[in-house]
Structure 1
Amino acid sequence: MRLSAIGDCCHAAALVHRIKTHWPDAQLTWIIGKVEYQLMKTLPDVRFIVFDKKQGKAATRQLQAAVKDEYFDALLMMQVALRANLASRVIKAKERIGFDWARSKELHWLFANKRVKPHGHAHVLDGFMDFGDALGVPPLMPPQWHIPVPDASEEKAKALLERVGPYAVISPAASKDERNWLPERYAQVAEHIRSKNKAVILCGGPGSMDKTLAEAILSHTDKITENLVGKTSLHDMLAILRYASLVVAPDTGPAHMATTVGTPVIGLYAHSNPRRTGPYNSLSYVASVYDQCIEEQKGKSWEKLPWGARAKGKTLMSRISTHSVVALVDQLLD
């Protein structure tokens, strides 16, 4: 059970692949959010039950009807939010595996009868892999993914590559405006990427914030090759990310989508610890001011704070310099 968000569901997909690799006959049911399902629905040999949280109590009633008369060997409670905890009550399972005490929040521990082993300072993906350990599934290192895309999405990505040549993707928008970098700095990075003979593609969701930020970037530069913000499905975007030379993004779903297809990511972090939520295979390419911000606010280094402590403020992302991101672009492209 992992309802949201896209990045976290990408991490969960690595556990699904691990289970299916070692236990190919296992019958897997994934209870997942409505938007996240649009990305994961092509996973082979996985039954999905969509939980639309916007429907409130009706979503739980629909879940209850979907699992009526079923009794599972194990329920992996991979979300600590109270909504997920309450919904889990309608699922009958021999083992209800939850997070360890340190990672339990919102009464999560009340709904589990078994817990994963403690894992200090774990990346979210590694934390999900703890559930595989609790099940007794052999490890699969490094983590692997297999999220098929429809032929139409693959063809769109190939056509883009043929049309513009080698390209990099900037996916500028996070889930909250304060976690977005400055549009003029995205523009400066885009111009630097173009100087490396790479086209620059803007990608993002259909929300108003995504579109507004893309328009702001375009107002600062004429070096954006194509603006695809709001114009792709999640599968289209996944295919486009796979053919990219690199991706520049804050803490947002496409950064983790790119990781699943092996594309290096330059992550931009100020509010959350990239050691916990950064692009899993590209942590050495993160431009982060988190350590400084959290120590200034809490008076302690991140090592001495609860894991997952967030820095707060509307202007923290402005502390990430263009120079630091350009230097990472050079490392990857040179």
Structure 2
Amino acid sequence: MTTPATICLLRTSAIGDVTHVVPLVRTLQQAWPDTALTWIVGKLERKLVGDLPGVEFVTFDKAAGWAGMRAVHAALRRQRFDALLQMQVAMRSNLLSLGIKAERRVGYDRARSKDLHGLVINERIPARSGEHVLDAIGSFCEPLGLKQTQVRWDIPIPDEAHAWAAEQLPGDKPTLLVSPTSSHALRNWRPERYAAVMDHVAARGWRVALVGGPSPDERAMADSVLAQCRRAPFDLTGKDTLKKLLALLSRAQLLLTPDSGPMHMANAVGAKVLGLHAASNPDRSGPYSDRRWCVNKYDEAARKYLGKPASEIPWGSKIEKPGVMDLIGVDEVIECYEAAAHELNLP
């Protein structure tokens, strides 16, 4: 098969999904080092991956609406790609792709298509069920004749981010980071339950720190958690950037979080994840490399809220119902923490 000279990747959001694209970029670069890669990515997400070497980035500002789309189309109006990898099925992304000129337009199989996705592509990835999101994204190279057999991130972290993280978390004391807020509110756990786990971990001699972005929701959640803690953790909420968070995660042993972007950032830098899953299936969207420390109540949630086991609902179904995260108990999370600490040979 002829090596493509130019490939355009379209995956604008969200943070977790953008981390899943990085191994695909590495696969393409390793196989075809001379192929020019262009990645259309969201404004926030570019702050995480926009310094990947060998990739030209075009920013899509979704908040700008049609003007944001026109800006992308204007930036690419003189380019024609050998292939477009259209890795997002939302209507906005399908419309965005219409302004990208490409001979081959690779998209999802029919089962995973929606919002008129089939009208903007002319090839599809293999139809498979039961895949992790990262593997599904990795399969976009298969119609081009490649196979993703290795998963590698190596997202750059600036020296100043490492220096800042070392100031916040000096030394090598075992550290639990807690990122309590998902962008989907119904995936969030109760503040008092986070606090109970954090108090237990602190009593075991670990350093505990809260992390999160500067949004009002994340600040409110952090304040609620802090109010419930008997042992005050470090509060780094709103103080980091995405790169600084990567640096913090690279210094931590464990991250406690619901299904969220930081879960996948932690996985990308090798930190273990105590994932809280009831609203979403960890086998599809949990930490890719190691899900042993995830509390998985997805099947129980399916039976309670949908009346059938997880095996009988469509792959990837979200069970974002009020109270679903209450299926996860404090004792279960502490048990996972203890098991992870033992496996990592940490006190």
2:318 aligns to what? Answer: 310
**Deviation, structure 1 residue 163:** 6.0
Amino acid at match of 2:111: A
CA distance in 1, matches of 2:96, 2:231: 48
Find the residue that maps to 2:170 and give its secondary structure.
Answer: helix
Supply the distance in 2 between the matched residues of 1:153 and 1:219 (Cα, whole angstroms): 29
Aligned mates of 1:318, 1:297 — CA distance in 2: 13
Residue among 263, 276, 280 paired with 1:272: 280
Secondary structure of the residue that 2:11 maps to in structure 1? coil
3-state DSSP class of the match of 2:199?
Answer: helix
TM-score when normalising by structure 1: 0.97
| Aligned ranges 1:115-134 → 2 under 5 Å | 115-134=124-143
Contact 2:139 2:148 in 1 (8 A): no
Shift of 1:177: 2.2
For the 8 Å contact 1:75–1:93, the answer to whether it is kept is: yes
Give the counterpart of 2:79 among 37, 60, 70.
Answer: 70
User: Following superposition of structure 1 onto structure 2, how do residues 88-103 of structure 1 map, counting pairs within 5 Å?
Assistant: 88-103=97-112
Distance 1:282 1:215 in 2: 30
Separation in structure 2 between the aligned mates of residue 7 and residue 259 of structure 1, nearest angstrom: 10
Question: Which whole-Å CA distance do the structure 1 matches of 2:11 and 2:174 have between them?
Answer: 35
Which string of whole-angstrom CA distances, capped at 9 and with x for unpartnered residues, describes residues 178-226 of structure 1? 2111111111111121123210011111111111111111111142431
SS of residue paired to 1:296: helix
Match of 1:107 in 2: 116
| 1:32 maps onto 2:32 in alignment | no
- Paired with 1:241 and 1:126, the residues of 2 have a C-alpha distance of 23
1:136 aligns with 2:145: yes
Say whether residues 1:212 and 2:213 are aligned partners.
no
Give 3-state SS (helix, strand or coil) of 1:240's partner.
helix
1:177 aligns with 2:185: yes
Find the aligned partners of 2:233 and 2:313 in 1 and give their Cα distance. 43
Between the aligned residues of both structures, percent identity stands at 40
Aligned mates of 2:266, 2:142 — CA distance in 1: 26
Flag as ranges the 4+ runs of structure 1 deviating above 3 A: none
Q: Does 1:10 align with 2:10?
A: no
Report the alpha carbon displacement of residue 299 of structure 1 after superposing the two structures with TM: 2.4
Cα distance in 1 for partners of 2:148, 2:211 equals 34
Give the SS at the match of 1:140.
coil
When you count helix as a share of all residues, which structure comes out higher? 1
Stretches of structure 1 lacking an aligned partner (at least 5 in a row): none
- Superposed CA deviations along residues 150-174 of structure 1, whole A, max 9, x for unmatched, are 1110111222332683311000000
| TM-score, normalisation: structure 2 | 0.93
Contact 1:22–1:138 under 8 Å retained in 2: no
Q: What is aligned with 2:306?
A: 298
Q: How does 1:185-204 map to 2 (within 5 A)?
A: 185-204=193-212
Cα offset, 1:137, TM superposition: 2.4
Secondary structure at the residue paired with 1:169? strand
Q: Give the partner amino acid of 2:106.
A: I
CA distance in 1, matches of 2:159, 2:248: 13
CA distance in 2 between partners of 1:325 and 1:40 (Å): 31
Q: Contact conserved, 2:37 with 2:55, CA < 8 A, in 1?
A: yes
What secondary structure does 2:316 align onto? coil
> 3-state DSSP class of the match of 1:281?
coil
Q: Matches of 2:51 and 2:204 in 1, distance apart?
A: 35
Secondary structure of 1:146 counterpart: coil
- Structure 2 unmatched ranges of 5 or more: 1-9, 343-347
1:273–1:308 Cα contact (<8 Å) kept: yes
- Between the aligned partners of 1:3 and 1:138, the Cα distance in structure 2 is 23
RMSD between superposed Cα atoms in Å: 1.3
Residue 116 of structure 1 contacts residue 134 of structure 1 at CA under 8 Å; is this kept in 2? yes
1:294 positional shift: 1.2
**Paired residue secondary structure (1:165):** coil
Given that residues 294 and 310 in structure 1 are in contact (C-alpha distance below 8 angstroms), is that contact kept between their aligned partners in structure 2?
A: no
1:281: Cα distance to partner?
A: 1.5
Matched residues in 2 for 1:222 and 1:23: separation?
55
- Which of 235, 249, 252 aligns to 2:260? It is 252
Which of 22, 32, 39 is the matching residue for 1:23?
32
